[in-house]
Amino acid sequence: MSAPAHRTRAVVGSALAVLSLAAGCTTHTGARAHGHPEATPARLVSASPSPALTAPATEELRDPPQVVSRDGLLTTRIVVERRKVRLAGRDLWALTYNGMYMPPTLRLRPGDRMRVTFENRLDKQTNLHVHGMHVSPVGNSDNIFLRIEPGRTFTYEYAFPKSLEPGTYWYHPHPHALSAAQTAGGMAGLIVVDGLDDHLPAPLRGIKEHVVALKDFQLVGDQIKTAHLKIGDPTTRTVNGQLNPVIRIGPGETQLWRIANIGANIFYKVALPGTRFHVVAQDGYPVNRVYSADSLIIPAGARYDVLVQGPAAGSAQLLTLPYNTGKAGNQFPRATLATVRSEGTSTRAADLPTAFAPVDDLGEETVAARKTVVFTENKAGTLFYINHKQFDHNRVDFRSRLNTVEEWTVRNDSDEVHSFHVHTNDFQVMSINGEPQTNYGLRDTVDVPPRGNMVIRMRFLDYPGKTVVHCHILNHEDLGMMAVLQIDR
């Protein structure tokens, strides 16, 4: 039966078809350019971005609006369009969800269903990916092989298991060869799965929480750049779409911050000098015991849920510290993300939990198979490979079986960091460069050091079908560093 005129069945995409959208554009081939092809107005093709914008701390942090599930169902509509938004004190052209650079947070509980009516008003195809979520990768669920063509509307249906872990996730586009451009243009928002409170001691349940969504943009004139993105170019870093907002906390007060890197390419090394982050979940997975850190390295796609306790009265800067991804990579500068103001009546800081949530430990499981993933790239940094092959959606690169545990070795044969990400199922990091890693819980986005390796174990649960593994530096993914994983019954 044919679909109504106002809707379309999704079409399985071809990498060649997607790439043809960028006909007439060429990838910048300068050394280590990490260029990204995408059709765009001629004046933006080769233009260099303006210097990163800065601002005094005058705006209060605004948490995004929320769409919350009711009676086990979250229903929403997402309209994708290019439009002007008020951002960093300017009216800028951006790629938006529902007309917003920082779209609504979708909030649900384990076992809920979600129905998203998705309307594409762009002049390019797009689709929707719910990053990190354990849900079916096929049909009209988290199927990144779907193409929603310009002018079409499609309804996504997700049925999340009761075992879905509480924490912070996010949503963004995933059409091959266009993912970086569309995410960098602004198409990214958060998903929160409730339930972390269940693991907190009673005095810390219901504490104030903030979304700290890290989004960056490169600016040319009055437009956020989406064409020929170079990862090392100047970029403006925002929190919830704001420049240097004020986050207020009382001396001794405990808050829950959901820190998420929902940009396309860049890294953050987040720190609040004088204050430690107490991690209660990572990549949407509660930890087995709370651990503390002075700084958190957050690649594109990764998330940390942390408890923060207000320092003595005064102001401090939430920073991203300098970070170097290797001699073939990029050096990211120090920048201010937000200003934290500790004020009001001082209270005794609450005792923080140590033991937290039960976690899977795959270290003693029987290994059904072993696989090797090798990241490589060409000298110019313009082509990227997994096992010396570029992505082809018609080719199955890895095949695994449901209800088994496998051990994968991920080897980075390049001179820059690559971020390893898997759809559908999370994984346990066993070792990095031969050093055993503490298992705080499963992950979905982890860095592999230059000329290094990482050993992981992964259990394939619940959902058969065709999915992907890739580098979550989206320029690298779009330029070939992705592979198809087929999960069989």
pLDDT at 128 over 60: yes
| CATH fold for the domain made of 11-197 | Immunoglobulin-like (2.60.40)
Please indicate whether residue 35 or residue 355 has the higher confidence score (pLDDT).
355
Determine the Cα–Cα distance for residues 331 and 235; give it in Å rounded to an integer: 12
Q: Are the CB atoms for 326 and 450 separated by under 8 Å?
A: yes
Architecture of domain 199-342: Sandwich (2.60)
Which of 83, 318, 78 minimizes the C-alpha distance to 185?
83
Q: Give the residue-averaged pLDDT of 200-216.
A: 97
pLDDT confidence of residue 32 = 46
Helix (H) or strand (E) holding 45: helix 42-45
Percent above pLDDT 70 for the chain: 91
pLDDT confidence of residue 38 = 43
String of DSSP letters for 81-108 = EEEEEEETTEEEEEEEETTBSS-PEEEE
Which of 206, 172, 163 minimizes the C-alpha distance to 191?
172
Q: Give the residue-averaged pLDDT of 23-52.
A: 52
pTM beyond cutoff 0.85? yes
Helix (H) or strand (E) holding 17: helix 15-20
pLDDT confidence of residue 46 = 60
Helix (H) or strand (E) holding 42: helix 42-45
pLDDT at 306 over 80: yes
pLDDT tens sequence across 355-397: 999 999 999 999 999 999 999 999 999 999 999 999 999 999 9
Domains 11-197 and 199-342 share a fold: yes
Average pLDDT, the chain: 92
Intra-chain end-to-end CA distance of the chain, in Å: 29
Percent above pLDDT 90 for the chain: 90
pLDDT at 20 over 80: no
Which of 125, 113, 127 minimizes the C-alpha distance to 76?
113
Q: Are the CB atoms for 148 and 7 separated by under 8 Å?
A: no
Q: Where are the domains of the chain?
A: 11-197, 199-342, 362-488
Which of 96, 101, 98, 102 minimizes the C-alpha distance to 82?
96
Class at the top of the CATH hierarchy for domain 362-488:
mainly beta
Whole-number Cα distances in Å, 84 to 87, 95, 98, 242, 344 = 9, 9, 12, 16, 38
- Taking the alpha carbons of 398, 402, 406, 411 in that order, is the dihedral positive or negative? positive
> 3-class secondary structure for 226-278?
CCCCCCCCCCEEEECCECCCEEEECCCCEEEEEEEECCCCCCEEEEECCECEE
pLDDT tens sequence across 239-284: 999 999 999 999 999 999 999 999 999 999 999 999 999 999 999 9
pLDDT at 36 over 60: no
pLDDT at 143 over 90: yes
pLDDT confidence of residue 460 = 98
Q: Residue 203 has which token pair?
A: 């005095």
String of DSSP letters for 180-202 = HHHHHTT--EEEEE--GGGGS-G
pLDDT confidence of residue 109 = 98
pLDDT confidence of residue 17 = 36
pLDDT tens sequence across 409-440: 999 999 999 999 999 999 999 999 999 999 99
pLDDT confidence of residue 47 = 86
pLDDT at 84 over 90: yes
Determine the Cα–Cα distance for residues 415 and 326; give it in Å rounded to an integer: 6
String of DSSP letters for 396-416 = --EEEETT-EEEEEEEE-SSS
